[in-house]
Amino acid sequence: MEITGIISGLIIGIVIGALGRLVIPGRQRIPVWLTIVIGVVAALIGTAIAAALGVADTGGVDWIELGIQVALAALGVSLSVGMYGRRRK
């Protein structure tokens, strides 16, 4: 993997993670690095799910794939907030 692939993966992870945090109401008390990790994982899993469903390659913006990725990121953020919040108390 080249450096441009790593950088673009991190940027996509930041965007997907941030969108996942924005979808969830309230304040999420998790670190930024955890949001990035959740975003990267959600982007990878969401792409695999979209490919399995046959909606990964469409003309223009892949809205269905993006929706799957954001939904997975929101789920990951929710689970992380629940687990991280319990440990921090």
Question: Tell me: the pLDDT tens digits for 27-66?
Answer: 778 888 888 888 888 888 888 898 899 887 777 778 888 8
Q: Rounded distance, CA 3 to CA 50, Å? A: 25
* Six token digits for residue 80: 């992380």
Q: Could you tell me if 77 and 30 are in contact, meaning their C-beta atoms sit under 8 angstroms apart?
A: yes
Q: What is the pLDDT of residue 1?
A: 52
Q: Could you tell me if 2 and 20 are in contact, meaning their C-beta atoms sit under 8 angstroms apart?
A: no
Q: What is the pTM of this model?
A: 0.77
CB burial of residue 6 (10 Å; 0-12, 13-18, 19+): exposed
**Backbone φ and ψ of 55, nearest 5°:** -115, 15
Task: Give me the percent of the chain exceeding a pLDDT of 90.
Answer: 1
